[in-house]
């Protein structure tokens, strides 16, 4: 029972209802009737005594309506909902979940009993055995034993206990037998006492209620595998589930459902202290049916091909139609593919040839760009080579004169020979750097230390100028940080940027020609900044700076910066130009991905 009342209280309530019907029959007949179906699991008389105060309270809360209670068993209540014979339903959470799945029912309130700490944890089950059965201590001990229950659909006693048995590995087939004895629920205890069952399932708290009424001797029974739940006053063998919901059906008028829900939530506690509260979460009930593969989840038990065909025939028909369409489509596509394959292969071959030509042209353009830089700087190359060659000639003539005059010593000859070798190595180094830079080869990728890369480019640049500008190099990057790329292509970019900076400063006196190179990095990136103090660029020149064939030099081709930009972008980087914050000139910044050198 959802709530007990004394015999006198029940008699007074029934007497008041009879008197109200006798005094006001015309008004009662004129009111719109609202039918509430109630699960009478202990019989119609007991249910009427329990729920009559609710109907009277709803009549008072909604005076334009007359609420009529109709009492059903589990199956009869199901059919009443199916045939739309009721507008609302009061039942246990298990049947509500089934009605929700089958008919779109929805809960609008949940019963709140002051005996329990939470409406969401109010229903449970106890598994009872005779006190002398010491061989039965845990739920797992029920394997092979006879179980007594009220009915296969009984939620609070049978199904809740069945889930607990499932959790300890005892399935329905593992039990010796299951005997369903029907209502009232205490009949299962008689089955125990008569020896026709080894264990029985009851709704939690019924054992205590029957003992308080003197209907049973509680010492003759023992609860199997008891567990304590905080705030729950009775013995338990299971987890707890939400209390009974007040259910609105799919055909119920929504305005009526809203009015009833509002009345229930505002209603004062009924006799016995019970009231209604906001709907509880019934997902735990869904989980029970899903694990046991019952109710809305009974389809999970059907594993045969015939059962699947019956349930999902529309899926198989759809799959067949899709398969047939796929076969037709495949034949059509194969025909079209056979007709187009030749053209596609030809197009792919032409594309590959075009890509090869583009790559070859790109390599050739980069090579020509390097040669162009060397050509522009070669006017000063003779001067750089003249100095070591003149020194070699002077040392050689001096040695000849000393040999002719006889004024020589071995130490003098050895020193002159070392000076000649040093100057020859200097001249050879200049030539070797130029040859390496101008040589045409396949691009490679390797880890490069930015500081070393920039230092080599500066040395090559300064070795080809007389006099070279003042170059200041600041390296703020750790030596462990490297960039992945082609060192020759990156040096080509740096040399081009330094050459442009040198050209921009030709109008300055030699003493004022200087450029700053700065290496830094942050967040996995390396930045190389080249700044000059030359004439700078105006806005129109800045807008077209990286366009092919655009140049500000009288004899330039306009390809240098365009090629530099493509090289840096091929290395997943960026090349940008901007005016410095202070002073004249331009700043070109190369940004490249960087990473720490692996051991």
pLDDT (mean) for 44-68: 92
pLDDT over 80 (residue 176): yes
The token pair that represents 266 in the structure block: 């505002």
The token pair that represents 329 in the structure block: 């489509």
- What are the tens digits of pLDDT across the range 552-597? 776 555 667 877 888 888 889 999 999 998 889 999 999 999 998 8
- What are the tens digits of pLDDT across the range 111-151? 999 989 899 999 999 999 999 999 999 999 999 999 999 88
pLDDT given for residue 17 in this prediction: 43
pLDDT over 60 (residue 487): yes
Domains of the chain, with CATH numbers?
7-119+243-298 (3.40.190.10), 125-240 (3.40.190.10), 443-599 (3.30.565.10)
User: Phi, psi at residue 203, to the nearest 5°?
Assistant: -65, 140
- SS percent in the chain: helix, strand, coil, step 5: 50, 15, 30
Q: What residues contact 432, with CB distance under 8 A and at least 6 apart?
A: none
The token pair that represents 306 in the structure block: 């015939």
- What are the tens digits of pLDDT across the range 231-265? 899 999 999 999 999 999 999 999 999 999 999 99
Would you mind telling me the total number of residues written for the chain in this entry? 599
Q: What residues contact 419, with CB distance under 8 A and at least 6 apart?
A: 391, 395
pLDDT (mean) for 143-163: 92
Quick count: other Cβ atoms within 10 Å of Cβ 242?
A: 24
User: Which letter, b or e, does each residue of 348-365 get, where b requires 16 or more Cβ atoms within 10 Å of its Cβ?
Assistant: eeeeeeeeeeeeeeeeee
pLDDT given for residue 411 in this prediction: 74
The residue with tokens 């830079």 is: 437
Q: What are the C-alpha distances in Å from 319 to residues 311, 312, 323? A: 14, 11, 6
pLDDT over 70 (residue 376): no
């Amino acid at each position: 029972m959802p709530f007990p009342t004394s015999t006198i209280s029940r008699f007074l309530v029934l007497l008041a209802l009879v008197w109200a019907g006798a005094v006001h029959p015309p008004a009662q007949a004129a009111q719109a009737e609202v039918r509430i179906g109630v699960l009478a699991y202990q019989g119609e008389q007991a249910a009427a005594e329990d729920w009559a105060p609710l109907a009277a309270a709803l009549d008072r809360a909604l005076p334009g309506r007359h609420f009529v209670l109709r009492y059903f068993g589990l199956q009869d209540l199901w059919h009443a909902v199916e045939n739309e014979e009721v507008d609302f339903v009061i039942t246990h959470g298990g049947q509500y979940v089934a009605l929700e799945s089958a008919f779109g029912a929805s809960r609008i309130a949940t019963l709140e009993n002051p005996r329990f700490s939470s409406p969401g944890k109010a229903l449970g089950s106890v598994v009872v055995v005779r006190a002398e059965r010491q061989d039965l201590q845990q739920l797992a001990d029920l394997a092979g034993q006879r179980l007594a229950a009220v009915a296969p659909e009984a939620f609070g006693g049978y199904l809740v206990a069945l889930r607990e048995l499932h959790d300890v590995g005892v399935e329905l087939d593992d039990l010796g037998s299951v005997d369903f004895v029907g209502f009232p629920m205490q009949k299962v205890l008689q089955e125990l006492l008569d020896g026709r069952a080894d264990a029985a399932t009851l709704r939690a708290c019924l054992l205590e209620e029957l003992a308080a009424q003197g209907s049973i001797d509680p010492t003759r029974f023992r609860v199997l595998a008891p567990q304590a739940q905080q705030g729950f006053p009775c013995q338990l063998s299971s987890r707890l589930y939400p209390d009974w919901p007040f259910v609105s059906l799919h055909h119920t008028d929504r305005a009526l459902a809203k009015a009833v829900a509002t009345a229930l939530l505002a209603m004062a506690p009924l006799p016995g202290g019970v009231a209604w509260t906001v709907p509880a979460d019934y997902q735990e009930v869904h989980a029970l049916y899903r694990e046991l593969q019952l109710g809305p989840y009974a389809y999970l038990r059907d594993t045969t091909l015939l059962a699947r065909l019956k349930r999902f025939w529309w899926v198989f028909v759809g799959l067949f139609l899709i398969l047939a369409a796929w076969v037709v489509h495949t034949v059509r596509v194969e025909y079209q593919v056979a007709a187009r394959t030749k053209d596609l292969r030809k197009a792919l071959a032409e594309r590959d040839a075009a890509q090869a030509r583009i790559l070859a042209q790109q390599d050739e353009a980069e090579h020509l760009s390097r040669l162009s830089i060397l050509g522009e700087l070669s006017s000063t190359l003779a001067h750089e080579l003249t100095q070591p060659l003149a020194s070699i000639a002077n040392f050689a003539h001096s040695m000849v004169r000393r040999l002719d005059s006889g004024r020589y010593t071995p130490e003098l000859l050895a020193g002159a020979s070392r000076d000649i070798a040093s100057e020859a190595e200097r001249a050879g180094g200049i030539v070797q750097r130029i040859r390496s830079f101008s040589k045409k080869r396949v691009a490679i990728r390797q880890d490069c230390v930015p500081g070393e890369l920039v230092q080599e480019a500066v040395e090559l640049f300064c070795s080809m100028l007389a006099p070279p500008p003042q170059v200041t190099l600041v390296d703020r990057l750790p030596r462990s940080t490297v960039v992945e790329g082609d060192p020759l292509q990156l040096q080509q970019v740096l040399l081009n940027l330094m050459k442009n900076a040198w050209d921009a400063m030709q109008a300055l006196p030699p003493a004022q020609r200087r450029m700053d190179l700065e290496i830094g990095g942050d967040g996995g990136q390396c930045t190389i900044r080249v700044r000059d103090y030359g004439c700078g660029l105006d806005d129109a020149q800045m807008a077209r700076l990286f366009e092919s064939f655009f140049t500000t030099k009288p004899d330039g081709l306009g390809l240098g910066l365009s090629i530099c930009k493509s090289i840096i972008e091929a290395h997943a980087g960026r090349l940008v130009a901007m005016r410095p914050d202070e002073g004249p000139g331009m700043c070109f910044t190369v940004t490249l991905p960087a990473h720490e050198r692996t051991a």
